[in-house]
Copies of this chain bind each other. A is one copy, B any other.
Amino acid sequence: MNQVIETILKHRSIRQYDDRPLTDEQIRTIVEAAQAASTSSYIQAYSIIGIKDPKKKKKLAELAGNQPYVEKNGHLLVFCADLHRHDVVAQMEGKDLTSSLESTEKFMVSLIDAALAAQNAAIAAESMGLGICYIGGLRNNLKEVAKVLRTPERVLPLFAMTIGYPLHESCKKPRLPFEHVYHEEEYEQDENRLKEQLQQYNDIIKKYYRERTGGVRNDTWTGQMAQKLSHPARMYMKEFVEKQGFNKK
């Protein structure tokens, strides 16, 4: 196994960091790694906002659900879908690009572009001995987040990433069985087989939690998912995203 794959497989979310801020050189390396990712037809439809200001971090931590590590870290990055610069392009080139920019297709492109860049940033940071955690909680209240970050129309904050020097080790939560995620030639349509795989996975997850909590937690994956997904979250999103100029047609 080479060093790259080792780094990738070693990933765990880190939620406690010491106070050392990242240097500008470290930040630049991480962002340049992000930019090296593939981008759909060269469109580069994302931006990254780095937050150093402790007050702003505190505010974003509150908005994201009071996770202390959004406030206490070495650096905080916010990844945004960005088609605003293509509005600037439209002005510069005297073309009307509205239909493209407002399409669901370009919404998808901008999300995928941003996520590819983010994952490069994550791997680069981890290779430097730093820990990271993705913060989807940023989407709890994007209207307020957009105000804090002063994002214009056609820029949509998607998630944040905390980065810093790890203060703890953490365990890797077992992933779905390989055969359940990886299909060959076509999608496995046999629901009984899918259910069997999920049952086996539940046994693994139960064991994982029992061992780590001295028998207190006894969760299964399907139980966790059913519990979480039975309370629809962030249902303001469709309207908000359209208001920001995405996913309209």
Residues of A near any B CB (own CB < 8 A): 2-5, 7-9, 11, 13, 27-29, 31-33, 35-38, 40-44, 46-53, 56, 80, 85-86, 88-93, 95-97, 99-101, 103-106, 108-109, 111-112, 114-116, 118-120, 122-124, 126-128, 133-134, 136, 139, 148-152, 155, 158-159, 172-173, 175-176, 178, 180-187, 189, 191, 194-195, 198, 221-226, 228-235, 237-238, 241, 247, 249
Q: Is B89 touching A226 in the complex (CB atoms < 8 A)?
A: yes
Of the candidates B33, B86, B186, which one forms a contact with A8 in the assembled complex, judged by CB atoms under 8 Å apart?
B33
A95→B230 contact, CB < 8 A:
yes
Besides the known contacts A90-B226, A97-B230, 15 further A-B residue pairs in the complex with CB atoms under 8 A apart: A2-B3, A47-B182, A47-B187, A51-B185, A52-B184, A53-B185, A88-B195, A92-B226, A93-B225, A100-B228, A100-B230, A108-B237, A112-B158, A115-B115, A238-B249
CA distance in complex: A47, B189 (Å): 13
Contact A103 B235 (CB under 8 A): yes
Task: Name the contact of A100 in the complex, choosing from B46, B114, B159, B233 (C-beta under 8 A).
Answer: B233
A9 cross-chain contacts in B, Cβ below 8 A: 32-33, 36
- CB within 8 Å for A104 and B247 given contacts A89-B225, A180-B85: yes
Instruction: Report how far A13 CA is from B99 CA in the complex, Å.
Output: 28
B-chain residues with CB within 8 Å of residue A51 when the two chains form the complex: 184-185
B31 and A181 within 8 A (CB):
yes
**Cβ 8 A contact of A32, one of B85, B150, B178:** B178
Assembly CA distance A108 to B141 (angstroms): 15
* Copies of this chain: 2
Complex Cα distance, B154 from A192, in Å, reads: 18
Instruction: Please determine whether A103 and B178 come into contact, CB atoms closer than 8 angstroms.
Output: no
Tell me whether chain A's interface is mostly helix, strand or loop, or mixed: helix
Q: A38-B134, A104-B238, A237-B105 are in contact. Are A186 and B31 (CB under 8 A)?
A: no
Contact residues in B for A4 (Cβ distance below 8 Å)? 3-4, 7, 123-124, 126-127
Residue pair B103, A150 in contact (C-beta under 8 Å) = no
A172 to B39, CA, bound (A): 12
